[in-house]
Amino acid sequence: MRTLKIACAFFAFLSLAATLTGTRAINWSYGGLHITKHAGIGVMLWSLFNALLYASAAYGIQRRVPVVWKLGWAVLIISSLQFMIGGLSSVLRQPGGWIGAAGILVGGALVSVYWGQWWNRQRDYFHTVAPITKSW
């Protein structure tokens, strides 16, 4: 869980940096460095929401808050659907795109099942209360 907590904190930092600078993407190509700015205030607010979400997830993992385990399922499902819908929308425009679509659906489902099983095994981490130590 330490790695997941660090990843959440890192993504919170990146989302906060994107919110403060207005940067959406940075791409390097043969033409040089290309920086894409946020399209509007809505995208910037979404980035701020992501920063708060990741920071609260890192805090919840640190404090072993049981609701974070339940919210992890929502994150897994939404992320999987976002990947599959985004992949399908881009690959179906190409000739023979049904082959790529099948790969995206099968691969996305397999990855989701794997991480779902992993997340299910983490339930005890969140439902075990850490011992409280008192120094008298």
Query: Over the stretch 75-126, which tens digit does the pLDDT of each residue have?
Result: 899 889 989 998 999 898 888 889 999 999 999 999 999 999 999 999 999 8
Cα separation, 84 vs 101, in Å, equals: 9
Residue with token string 């959440």? 8
pLDDT band at 73 (very low <50, low <70, confident <90, very high): very high
Could you give the percent of the chain with pLDDT greater than 90? 43
CA Rg value for the chain = 19
Which band of pLDDT confidence, cut at 50, 70 and 90, is reported for residue 21?
confident
pLDDT of 131 reads 59
Q: Say what the pLDDT of residue 6 is.
A: 93
Hey, which of 17-21, 64-68, 75-79, 113-117 has the most confident mean pLDDT? 113-117
Half-sphere exposure of 65 (CA within 13 A, CB side): 13
Q: How many helices (H) and strands (E) does the chain have?
A: 5, 2
Give the pLDDT of residue 36. 81
Mention every residue, 6+ apart, whose C-beta is less than 8 A from residue 39. 24
Amino acid at 13: F
Q: Please give the helix or strand (H or E) that residue 29 lies within, else none.
A: strand 23-29
Instruction: Give the residue extent of every domain in the chain.
Output: 1-63, 65-131
Q: What's the mean pLDDT when you consider all of the chain?
A: 87
pLDDT at 102: 94
